[in-house]
Structure formats: C-alpha cells, structure tokens
Amino acid sequence: MQRHSWWRRLHWPEYGSELLGTAFLVFIGLSAVTFNLGSGSPLAVVLPDSSTRRLIAGLILAASGPLVAISPLGKLSGAHINPAVSLAFWLQGKMHKHDLVGYIASQFAGAALGAGLLVLIWRGRAASVHNGITTPGVGYPIWGVFLIEMGFTCLLVLAIFLFVSRHRLMRWTPLMTWLLVAFMYWLAAPISGSSLNPARSFGPALVSWFWRDQWLYYLASPIGALLAVILFRSLSIVGIHDVLTAKLFHVPRYRCIFKNIKAPLMHTDQDGKLIGP
C-alpha cells in the first residue's frame, strides 16, 4: 500500500477541469477565428476591414478563458488552461510537482480535444484558416516571432501575478485577461498567430499533423513565463512580495490544492476533502 500512496496525492477533478476548460478555450476561440476570418464569413460582407474583424475575433477568443475562470470548472482548478501559466505558478512555489505534470498533461489533451471538435464541426471553414494553426507571419523573421511570443507571454503572466497579489484586484483578474489577450491578439496575430499558450498551438498542429516552426511556441512561452516570475520577484522592492492565490478567480468555498496560498481558503484533509473554514 505504501508504494501506491502517490496515487492518492493526485487531484483528478482539477485535472479534468483543466482538460475541459482548455478544450472549451481552443474550440470557442478558434471557432471565433473561423467565423470572423474564414472563407464565407458573413461578417466580411458587413466589415470588409480585416483589422476590425481580427479585433472582434480577439475579443471573442479572449473571452473564452475568463468564462472558464468564473465557471465551476475554473473555480475548482484555477483556470490556468495554459502550460505557461501553470509553470509560472510552480516556479513561484504555488504548485506541487505532481500537480504541475497533471495540469500540463490535461491542458495538452484538452487542446487536442478542442481542435478535434473544431475540425469535426466546421470542416471546410476551419480548413480555410488552416484549422487554427499558429505559424510565423509571412515576411517576419523567426527570431522576431519568438520575441513576440516570449514577450507577450511574459506580459500576460506578469499581469496575472500583479492582479492575484492584491486582495482588491484579484476578483478582476478574468476581466483584465480578457481585455489584455484581445489586444495582444489584435496586434500579434499577423506576426506570430498570437498563441501565448503551448497547448493552444499543440491542438491544431496535432489534428493537422503540421509541425513546421512549432518548436518556437513550445519554447518561447515557457521562457516568457520564467521571465515574468523573475520580474515579479524583483517588484518586492516596491512592496509586492507574493501572489495570494494560484487561481484566476478565487472562491473560498471551492477546495484549493495549491500550496503557500494567502487568500481565504476552506481547509481540507490530506485527501483534499473540505473540512470547514
């Protein structure tokens, strides 16, 4: 029995929430791209300007993450739905190693599920936007695309950390990420595809079996997350010492599997079961 005690430390409801949340993010986000920018788009008749349609696609795409965060799924798992975000929280000392592995595996599996549903439902329209594959824009050097993905991921993670490090700001984290990611997508989509999320890039690449230049999305975002953690820790000189929660929308009545949390929590036993405040 001692040899199998590690199994009891795994948190399957949270991993399942991350899987379903990431699937929702990828499917809804790429459906917005398909509807707004794909062939036969009715919006193109009303709004022929591609920049405006890209902004609308970004607003819808970016809204999928906050919707997950405020849902029961997100309130349970924390709605990371991005390996770079989970990595950042682990580097900040908020996640156990086995949970980091469980979250990242679930996020990649969820992205594959979401991309598969996109292809199954939208078919030709999805194919017209290459099934949502993230690729470097034509004419942009690979190093420039790498820096965009790294820098924007760093900015996103740093913004999340700044919001969840303040009691007055933490409840507004989903709204902030919606507006920030929408703006980033509008700016960076023609350059890099505006992934900011290795799982989001993996799903469409897997269902399309397209791997050209995909390495940069799996490398740039984690490096950006690492830089964000370093920058956040340097802010201790202005009175910011640590994040209060590893959830993007923290609700005390939902159990919390993270460690070193300073936001209000329900206490749990060693199996993660609620035992009261």
Lowest mean pLDDT among 136-145, 189-198, 249-258, 259-268: 259-268
In a domain, 172, yes or no: yes
Q: What is the pTM of this model?
A: 0.91
Q: Tell me if 27 is assigned to some domain.
A: yes
Q: For residue 185, tell me if it sits in a domain.
A: yes
Residue carrying structure tokens 């009545």: 253
Assess if residue 3 is contained within a domain.
Answer: no
User: Per DSSP, what are the bridge partners of residue 274?
Assistant: 268
Reading the block at residue 24, the tokens are: 């929702």
Chain centroid offset of residue 114 CA: 13
- The answer to whether residue 47 sits within a structural domain is yes
Helix (H, G, I), strand (E, B) or coil at 257: coil
Range(s) of the domain holding residue 204: 9-276
- Cβ-contact 155, 65 below 8 angstroms: no
Q: Residue 277 above 60 pLDDT?
A: no
Helix or strand (DSSP H, E) at 276: strand 274-276
Does residue 2 form part of some domain?
A: no
Q: Is residue 1 included in any domain, yes or no?
A: no
pLDDT of residue 237: 67
Question: What CATH code is carried by the domain that includes residue 261?
Answer: 1.20.1080.10
List all residues 6 or more positions away from 150 whose beta carbon is below 8 Å from its beta carbon.
220, 221, 223, 224, 227
Residue 214 lies in a domain: yes
Partnered with residue 214 across adjacent β-strands are: none
Which of 6-10, 121-125, 230-234 is predicted with the least confidence, judged by mean pLDDT?
A: 6-10
Domain count, the chain: 1
pLDDT digits over 64-110, tens only?
A: 999 999 999 999 999 999 999 999 999 999 999 999 999 999 999 99
